[in-house]
Amino acid sequence: MKNMDTTLAKAEMKGLSNCRTGQFYDDVICGLSSTPKFLSSMYFYDAVGDKLFQDLMNCDEYYPTNCELEIFSEKTAEICNAIIGDGDAFDLIELGAGDATKSTYLLKYLLDNGADFSYLPIDISSNVISYLNITLPVTLPGLQMTGLNGEYFNMLTKASTLSDKRKVIMFLGSNIGNMPVDVAEGFCMNVRNHLSPGDMLLIGVDLKKNPATVLAAYNDKEGITKRFNLNLLERINRELDGDFDVTQFEHYPIYDPETGACKSYLVSLTDQQVNINGMHTINFAKDEYIFMEISQKFTIQQVDDMARKASFKPVTHFFDTKKWFTDAIWVAE
C-alpha cells in the first residue's frame, strides 16, 4: 500500500502523477490502470462534490469542522494577533479555501482592527473561487482580495509575483492529513521553499483520539461520506463518458490507531467491466478495491517534528476544548 499511497499523495502535493499530462482523463486512466487501483482525491470537488462535502461537515459524526470552528470563533483575537506580529503588511494566503467559513472570523477581525493585508484564497475548484469572488466583497466590505483558481504550488508561485509583502499561509481543515506522513513532510518542505524567513504557516491538524470517534467521522450513518466517494465515479461518468454502475461499489473505511491512518476505499461487489470514453476498458474482480483517500491523524509531537523537518519553528498551538484538533503557527526560519 505504501507505494500506491505515496503516488496518490504526490499527485495531491504537486498536482501531477507519474503518468499525468495535466488532464482529469489521464489521471483517471493512470489510477485505474495501476495495481492496486486508486483515484486522486483532488477530483472529489466538482459542484456536486462541493455540496456533498458541505453536507458532510454539518453531519453529527464529522467532528473536525466543529473543532476548528470552535478554535477560530473562540480564539480569533489570539490567532490574529500572532499573525499581525509587528504590524507590517502581509498577504494572507489560504490553500484550499473552500467556503472560507473559518477564515471569515479572522478576516473580519483583521479588517475591524485595521490590519494591512490582502486575502488570496487558492482552490482547485473554480466553483469555490467564483463563490468567494461574489460573496466575500459583499459580506466583508473593504476586503482586498484576489482569488486564485489552480493547484497549490502553481498558485503560490503566482501569489509571490503579485506583491513582495510578508506571506502568511493558511492550510486548514487538516488537509495535511490527506497525505501519508512522509509525503506530508515533503509538502511542508515545499511550502517552506515558497516562503522567506519570517513568513508564517497556520496549519490545521486533526489529532489522534478514540478510534471509534475517528472511524465514525468517515462512516457517518447518513451515508454522506459514501455518496461523496461515489460521486467521483459519477463525475467520471458525467465528464469522461464512463459507465460506472455505482450501485456495484461499496464504501469501506478503516482506521489504524497505531499509525493514525484513516483510509477510504470503494470495493467492487462483482466481477465487472467499466468503459471510459469508449477507448479504455477497466476490469474489476469481485472484492477488488479502489483506494480513494487517506485522512492522517497526528500527535502534537509529530506536528512539531514536522515543522522542524521543514525548516519552520513551531511557535504555538491553539486547541478546541476537547483537544481533538490543533491549529498551529509555524515561522519560516
Q: Could you report how far apart the first and last alpha carbons of the chain are, in Å? A: 34
Alpha-carbon separation of residue 307 from 115, 228, 311, 333 (angstroms): 27, 31, 6, 10
* pLDDT, tens digit, 9 for 90 and up, residues 43-84: 998 889 989 988 998 899 999 999 999 999 999 999 999 999
Q: Domain 75-207+298-332 has what CATH class? A: alpha beta
Share of the chain above pLDDT 70, in %: 93
Is 252 exposed, middle or buried, given 0-12, 13-18 or 19+ CB atoms closer than 10 A?
middle
Would you give the distance in Å from CA 85 to the centre of its chain? 27
At residue 89, the 3 state secondary structure works out as coil
pLDDT given for residue 12 in this prediction:
40
Cβ atoms of 138 and 58 within 8 Å: the answer is no
Which residues are paired to 268 by β-bridges?
249
* pLDDT, tens digit, 9 for 90 and up, residues 110-158: 999 999 999 999 998 888 899 999 999 999 999 999 999 999 999 999 9
* pLDDT, tens digit, 9 for 90 and up, residues 281-301: 999 999 999 999 999 999 999
Give the range among 97-106, 110-119, 186-195 with minimum mean pLDDT: 97-106
CATH 3.40.50.150-classified regions of the chain: 75-207+298-332
Given a cut of 60, whether residue 8 has pLDDT beyond it is: no
Longest dimension (CA), the chain: 63
User: Three cell numbers at 220?
Assistant: 457517518
Is 87 exposed, middle or buried, given 0-12, 13-18 or 19+ CB atoms closer than 10 A?
exposed
CA–CA separation, 302 and 62 (whole Å): 23
Q: Tell me phi and psi for residue 6, to 5 degrees.
A: -65, -40
Given a cut of 80, whether residue 5 has pLDDT beyond it is: no
**Whole-number mean pLDDT of the chain?**
92
- Per-residue pLDDT, averaged over 160-169, amounts to 96
Beta-carbon contacts of 231 under 8 Å, excluding residues fewer than 6 positions away, are 44, 46, 48, 49, 52
Cβ atoms of 204 and 66 within 8 Å: the answer is no
CA–CA separation, 234 and 244 (whole Å): 7
CA–CA separation, 319 and 327 (whole Å): 7
Q: Nearest-CA neighbor of 61 among 174, 225, 171? A: 225
pLDDT given for residue 126 in this prediction:
87
Beta-carbon contacts of 146 under 8 Å, excluding residues fewer than 6 positions away, are 118, 119, 120, 162
Share of the chain above pLDDT 90, in %: 87
